[in-house]
Amino acid sequence: MGEAGLWSETRNLRAAYSVPYNGLVPLPVGALNTIPAGGNGSAPFARRRSAPVIVLGWVRDLLISVVIAVIGIIFIYQPVKVEGTSMMPGLVDQERIFVNKFIYRFGIEEVHRGDLVVFWYPGDQTKSYIKRVIGVPGDVVAIDRGAVYINSRRLAEDYVPERYRDTLSMPPRTVETGHYFVLGDHRNSSNDSRSWGLVPRSCVYGKAVFVYWPLERMGPVR
């Protein structure tokens, strides 16, 4: 039942004026009795908002949504540009991605094997790298002619095509507490833990989550 119908049915119970309903301005009962049900020239029960007011309301809502989105991007997701080929084919040079800066910082999620993490290069913390986590604390990592072994078991790496593999070997190494062993997916074009060692947890500041440019590659990071 609409508001007008509610007022019409109860008009005989009012004294001189109707009682406000949902913030509407009270009107004399007599005025309610003269409101026609419809037809040409009939006046609406509630004052209609003008078109400019409606448009301004839409603009206001749109601006609020944009501001919320911008705040989310600035404070939660950081847009970054990939430079180099060490993460091909998953990420390519000059690609733009979003990095979640809070997922690790507040313990929302632990760093897992397979995550693409963004971190400050331990040898020069003015530089930022992106690599894939291969070994987590307590793991024993070894490489035999390009094949990666975690705790004596070969790691399945379908994200590394055969043409991107190399034949390098590395003796077993235990990943220390609070550190991670990372590799680039393009193994024969990556400077990673094989060369300079483990990444401290304190250097990890985000997780790559989404490619937003170019449009044809838009989607979750794999």
pLDDT at 219: 95
Catalytic position from the list 42, 65, 127, 131: 131
Q: What confidence score (pLDDT) does residue 48 get?
A: 64
> What pLDDT does residue 150 have?
98
208 or 74, which is more confident? 208
Q: Helix, strand, or coil here: 115?
A: coil
Catalytic residue among 8, 50, 81, 86: 86
**CA dihedral sign, ordered 10, 14, 18, 22:** negative
Q: Tell me whether residue 195 is one of the annotated catalytic residues.
A: no
Residue 5, token pair as written in the block? 């119908």
What pLDDT is recorded for position 28?
45
Told to judge if 86 belongs to the known catalytic residues of this protein, a careful annotator would answer yes
User: What is the pLDDT averaged over residues 56-67?
Assistant: 87
What is the spatial distance between Cα 127 and Cα 120, in angstroms, rounded to a whole number?
6
Mean pLDDT of the chain: 81
> Domains plus CATH for the chain?
1-45 (no CATH), 79-220 (2.10.109.10)
pLDDT at 12 over 60: no
